[in-house]
Amino acid sequence: ETASVEEACAKLKEAGAKRALLLPVNGAFHSPLMQPAQERLAAAIENTKFRKATIPVYQNITTTAISDPEEIKKNLIAQLTGPVKWTQSVQNMIKDGANNFVEVGPGK
């Protein structure tokens, strides 16, 4: 699939695109291509007990503070194929009073 993406980038540039590039990622995360994984994740999440969050959870799919366990479950599943709305999430956190952020994850 990399060759197809490289070809698409070249054609986009020829057509006048200012920028088209390959992203350095290992998968098609947050896209419809994650549907098979989404189904497996849904099964795992449905078998996991969630409690009401004591601290609001901001999920990229909604960008808003959530504490309801069923909604958190639903959104975790949807996030796998949905777009990451990082800017809107951070803007909502700031609007809700957050002023310190710590990023946690691979390579951090």
Per-residue pLDDT tens, the chain, 108 aa: give them.
Answer: 788 888 999 999 999 999 998 888 777 788 888 888 999 999 999 999 999 999 999 999 999 999 999 999 999 999 999 999 999 999 999 999 999 988 777 765
Q: Which amino acid is present at 81?
A: T
Does residue 39 share a domain with residue 2? no
Q: Total domain count for the chain?
A: 2
3-state helix, strand, coil in the chain (%, to 5): 45, 5, 50
Does residue 2 share a domain with residue 51? no
Does residue 91 share a domain with residue 39? yes
CA contacts within 13 A on the Cβ side of 46: 6
Q: Is 104 a domain residue?
A: no
* Residue 79, domain extent: 31-99
Does residue 6 share a domain with residue 53? no
Does residue 19 share a domain with residue 64? no
Q: pTM of the entire structure?
A: 0.72
Does residue 39 share a domain with residue 23? no
